[in-house]
Structure 1
Amino acid sequence: MTPKKQDLIKVIASRAHAIDYWSFMHYLPNPDPVLKKMGKDISAYREILSDSHVGGCVRRRKAAIKGLEWRLTPTGNEKTDEILTALFDRLPISQIINQILDATLFGYQALEVMWESKDGLFLPVAVEGKPQEWFVFDEENRLMLRTKEHYNGDLVPEKKFLLATQQADYMNPYGRADLAMCFWAATFKKGGFKFWLEFMEKYGSPWLVGKHPRQAQTHEIDELLDSMEAMLGTAVAAIPDDSSISMLESASKGASSQVFDDFLRYCKSEIAIALLGQNQTTEAEANRASATAGLEVTRDIRDDDASLVEGVFNQLLTWICELNFNVETLPTFELFEQESIDKLQAERDKILTEMGVGFTEQYIQRTYGFEDGDIVMQVEKSAVKNTAEFAEPIPKSVIETIGEQLEVEGETHVENWLQGVRDQLGQAESLEDFRTQLDSLIPELSFAEYGKLLAWGSTAAQFAGRQSVEDERK
């Protein structure tokens, strides 16, 4: 059957035609399962941010992004690039990034852009995140603002609100909130902490036992109890001659206390997994390797958060260019880790240069963040060289040189692994215990940076081998 052109163009599968969708309101409710079961709005997640462990993980996760460097790619127009660079230097980038990353916690985050017309240009002067409770989505997944005049929401103006979402799709435009994954763990942790305090109050101090004569009246017994209760705070009590108070030490409740301790640790572990992607602890009894790993956010989560931030800023840059500039290449906002680019990248480029590989000025600027005019490319001294000079461009010891550099660069990674093994050996009670701990340590070791180093060394060696073959042919 030949498809009709109008069927190819229009949307057929939509909420308006779905058999399982009925609209009783003018906006889509948030399908978050935790909020639906509790019958609350998204403000319930904001309450658990006061938890010390949740708040610490959130700060650590945001710091992983705010610690990155940022830059704007050129548009090809020098004047436009200068205006955009000056604009972003004025904006509080760190504060804006902090607000954008709230989308990872709540699923979505709307940011209002404050525009200003100055010198013939329409530029943003502020970008402010607004509460999630103020915004909803319509049946076409468009952002709407709820106001007193429009309680069910009204479509927001174009180029006025930036929208950051995490894993949003057609079924759920509100995105997926990471706080939903740790909500119950944080809630039960708070409740477990309360029971733990009651347990310590009950069994942590000696019990006072008052003895009164069998024929004592009720009011006399109450007076003795009052004296004992006051004695807990003052250690002083007045009692009749025929009454006595003794202290009774509680039996060992270590096993019961350990249950509460294990429960709280489990809750902390679940919170860390939800927000940081790993459950390495920073407690006092942790070894150096696991404590160091616990301070880091897994790279895949950090990269996803960075892509989220870049997407929001790129949308803002697109609006700025549409309102003010006519450029062939739209600028982009990029986050990068300066140190990871500089050292290993420079070592690899140095090896390739020694092998005779040349780099363009554009490559140097793009890779190392230089701008036009920052560097001057040196012209090769002689374009006329004899055949003998061209016949041996690669020293015979280039492979040895690569091996020596790999040994120096990889020493840090190997030392970190060995330190983790030493820590496990110091904590082990026996060789059998050390073997068990060593098996659990292996999954904690990170080989990513070491593998990248070996990959670059392998690439350089491959280039050297190819050049050597070419030399032999000559």
Structure 2
Amino acid sequence: MSRLPQLLDHRGMPVRRAELREEISAPTTRGVRSPLSAYPSDGLNPERLGAILREADQGDPIRYMELAEIIEERDPHYLGVLGTRKRSVTQLPITVKEGGEEQLDLDIAKELRSWLAREELASEIFDILDAIGKGYSHTEIIWDYSSGQYWPAKLKNRKQAWFRFDRIDLETPVMLDENGQECPYPAYKFIYAQMKSKTGLPLRSGLARVATWNWLFKAYTQRDWTIFTQTYGQPLRLGKFGSGASEKDKNTLLRAVTNIGGDLAAIIPESMMIEFIEASNVGASTEHYERRSDWLDKQISKAVLGQTATTDAVTGGLGSGKEHRQVQEDIETADATQLAAILNRDLIIPWVNLNYGPRPKYPTIKLSRPEEEDLKNLAEALGPFIDRGLQVSAETIYAKFGIPAPRQGAQILHPTGQNASPAASAPTGNLAAAPESKFEYRLNTLLDQSGVVAAEQSEEASEALISPQAKMADVLADMMQAPMQSMMAQIEGMVAAAGSLEELRESLLAGFPELDADRLIETLAEGMAAAELGGRAALEVESG
């Protein structure tokens, strides 16, 4: 029996299929991968924050990652803008491009589309995009092999603190084994996503690096604001006692003043008095706290979303409104492009290799927002081309307009009113042209090919050679039925006034919008043939 070729991942690590069926990085409270976290934010100051960041720079990211998670929990603004950026990508449609045109390529792409329809995928992508804030993320692929084919049943997020980077380059990710030793993680088991907000090492490329300092400064501002509000925001309670008051009376008054501050209720002897003195400039004194907090929030908005208008109600002026939304869309596109490349490398290619072996080309996924299309202009532009014979698939039109193809036996809508022709009222699988469009098409054909039509007319029309002018009128009169004769005067006026065939076409289209196109075309065709033959006969008589 021949052995299957050894599969290697993009790092050159060999694939061990037995490891794929195990969950190798599940959390446990008693091991190195504990789901519990410390709180390095308690008592945080610039000196301690600097030490935490230096630890991360040297390859120990535990306290930095814990701090990054706490900031998301305690700063509503940072949580909001970061969540907006991640959710904008999770909601993008995902398309699949086949790796080739062979049937197997089509089958693989179909299987991939089926997997992408999972409802859990949006939540899994959201977790992968944790790399935007922290610089990178690790997601374990839980492979299912129960049906004899490898299937990514789940994508489970794993905490960054459970992984490290190679101590030599600080760029190659490694995992901690059960003994806490650093080792390469198995091939085809993890999606390693690095989402850079700046160039540099993974531990220094996340937005949390900026958010930590911003959060620290805002925490100081909010603490001072809280102290000021508690101290000066409430009226001063001043208790007064008489000159003969005893120590017991004084203590009673003090307790009363204190309790009014917390409980808003107290009792005092009748001989005592409490006054409430309000500060007159408290509002003006607190404005600078609010302005500083708002300013710091705007800096985070710029760092995360590239602008402030969509989050901080800043409108008007240069670069606002539409321009700010375009900046956000540019960031969304960049995130989606990075994520698609990561998933193609760490999920799609391994999946195909495990089930079908190495392929010349692999299917690829793409996350992108559909380009807005002016469907009205598209319909108006396609109509004339279809009338002139352009072949357009009905499936293409249904897809463009987002309309499902009618199932067999479904009630079909048809044109109504005076413009509806008998042909349009009959059920058909084709996109029937409106009567005026059909008339326009056939009239164009007639005017463009009048010489050919003239050469192919019957012997009856050829008798016009005997007396061209008189015979042409007789032929037209004989061919016109009673309903058409009423139009003759108007048509003759149009023919006389038209300076070219194009002008005649426009006059006929404008003058007879509800015309029976089939009957008129037949009449005009024969009339034009008679006129052509009559003109030739006149030339021959004059030259003879």
**TM-score of the aligned structures, taking structure 2 as reference length:** 0.56
- Which residues in structure 2 correspond to 1:439-450 (within 5 Å)? none
CA distance in 2, matches of 1:309, 1:167: 11
1:337 is the counterpart of 2:369: yes
Q: How many residues align?
A: 359
Partner residue of 1:71 out of 66, 91, 95: 95
CA distance in 2, matches of 1:86, 1:55: 33
Taking a change above 3 Å as real, the CA distance of residues 38 and 297 of structure 1, as seen in their structure-2 partners, is farther
- Which residues in structure 2 correspond to 1:85-164 (within 5 Å)? 85-90=113-118, 92-138=120-166, 139=168, 141-151=171-181, 153-164=182-193
Question: What amino acid is aligned across from residue 47 of structure 1 in structure 2?
Answer: I
- Identical residues among aligned pairs (%): 21
3-state SS of 2:308 partner: coil
Residue 302 of structure 1 and its aligned partner are, at CA, apart by 0.5
CA distance in 2, matches of 1:265, 1:120: 57
CA distance in 2, matches of 1:169, 1:155: 26
- Unpaired segments of 5 or more residues in structure 1? 1-31, 396-474
CA distance in 2, matches of 1:123, 1:82: 14
1:322 is the counterpart of 2:353: yes
Residue 83 of structure 1 and its aligned partner are, at CA, apart by 2.1
1:47-98: CA deviation from partner (whole Å, max 9, x where unpaired): 0111211111122112211222112112333322222222222472201210
Question: What amino acid is aligned across from residue 319 of structure 1 in structure 2?
Answer: P
Q: Using the TM superposition, name which of 59-68 and 183-192 deviates more.
A: 183-192
Taking a change above 3 Å as real, the CA distance of residues 83 and 62 of structure 1, as seen in their structure-2 partners, is same
1:200 is the counterpart of 2:229: yes
Taking a change above 3 Å as real, the CA distance of residues 257 and 311 of structure 1, as seen in their structure-2 partners, is same
1:122-163: CA deviation from partner (whole Å, max 9, x where unpaired): 221111111011111213533211234133x11001111111
1:277 is the counterpart of 2:306: yes
Residue 282 of structure 1 and its aligned partner are, at CA, apart by 5.1
Partner residue of 1:191 out of 216, 220, 225: 220
Partner residue of 1:245 out of 260, 270, 274: 274
CA distance in 2, matches of 1:285, 1:273: 12
Residue 168 of structure 1 contacts residue 175 of structure 1 at CA under 8 Å; is this kept in 2?
A: no
Question: What amino acid is aligned across from residue 349 of structure 2 in structure 1?
Answer: T
- Which residues in structure 2 correspond to 1:158-177 (within 5 Å)? 158-167=187-196, 172-174=201-203, 176-177=205-206
Residue 56 of structure 1 corresponds to 80
3-state SS of 2:309 partner: coil
CA distance in 1, matches of 2:401, 2:189: 31
Partner residue of 1:41 out of 58, 61, 64: 64
Q: Identify which of structures 1 and 2 has the higher relative contact order when contacts are C-alpha pairs closer than 8 Å and 6+ apart.
A: 1
1:420-461: CA deviation from partner (whole Å, max 9, x where unpaired): xxxxxxxxxxxxxxxxxxxxxxxxxxxxxxxxxxxxxxxxxx
CA distance in 1, matches of 2:180, 2:219: 38
State the Cα RMSD in Å.
Answer: 4.5
Taking a change above 3 Å as real, the CA distance of residues 297 and 130 of structure 1, as seen in their structure-2 partners, is farther
Taking a change above 3 Å as real, the CA distance of residues 279 and 206 of structure 1, as seen in their structure-2 partners, is same
- Which residues in structure 2 correspond to 1:357-368 (within 5 Å)? none
Residue 259 of structure 1 and its aligned partner are, at CA, apart by 0.6
Residue 216 of structure 1 and its aligned partner are, at CA, apart by 4.6
3-state SS of 1:247 partner: strand
CA distance in 2, matches of 1:198, 1:56: 26
1:313 is the counterpart of 2:339: no
CA distance in 2, matches of 1:252, 1:170: 48
3-state SS of 1:298 partner: helix
Residue 199 of structure 1 and its aligned partner are, at CA, apart by 2.0
Residue 282 of structure 1 contacts residue 294 of structure 1 at CA under 8 Å; is this kept in 2?
A: no
1:181-201: CA deviation from partner (whole Å, max 9, x where unpaired): 222222332332232232222
Taking a change above 3 Å as real, the CA distance of residues 318 and 281 of structure 1, as seen in their structure-2 partners, is closer
Residue 198 of structure 2 contacts residue 206 of structure 2 at CA under 8 Å; is this kept in 1?
A: no
Greater CA radius of gyration, 1 or 2? 2
1:324-355: CA deviation from partner (whole Å, max 9, x where unpaired): 225443111112223x34x2378468647857
Residue 357 of structure 1 and its aligned partner are, at CA, apart by 11
Residue 388 of structure 1 corresponds to 448
Taking a change above 3 Å as real, the CA distance of residues 232 and 45 of structure 1, as seen in their structure-2 partners, is same
Residue 256 of structure 1 and its aligned partner are, at CA, apart by 1.5
Taking a change above 3 Å as real, the CA distance of residues 171 and 228 of structure 1, as seen in their structure-2 partners, is closer
Taking a change above 3 Å as real, the CA distance of residues 219 and 128 of structure 1, as seen in their structure-2 partners, is same
Residue 306 of structure 1 and its aligned partner are, at CA, apart by 0.6
Question: What amino acid is aligned across from residue 36 of structure 1 in structure 2?
Answer: L
- Which residues in structure 2 correspond to 1:344-355 (within 5 Å)? 344=374, 347=377, 351=381, 354=384
Residue 103 of structure 1 and its aligned partner are, at CA, apart by 0.7
Question: What amino acid is aligned across from residue 97 of structure 2 in structure 1?
Answer: T
Residue 165 of structure 1 contacts residue 175 of structure 1 at CA under 8 Å; is this kept in 2?
A: no
CA distance in 2, matches of 1:214, 1:120: 96
Partner residue of 1:82 out of 110, 126, 132: 110
Residue 110 of structure 1 contacts residue 129 of structure 1 at CA under 8 Å; is this kept in 2?
A: yes
**TM-score of the aligned structures, taking structure 1 as reference length:** 0.63
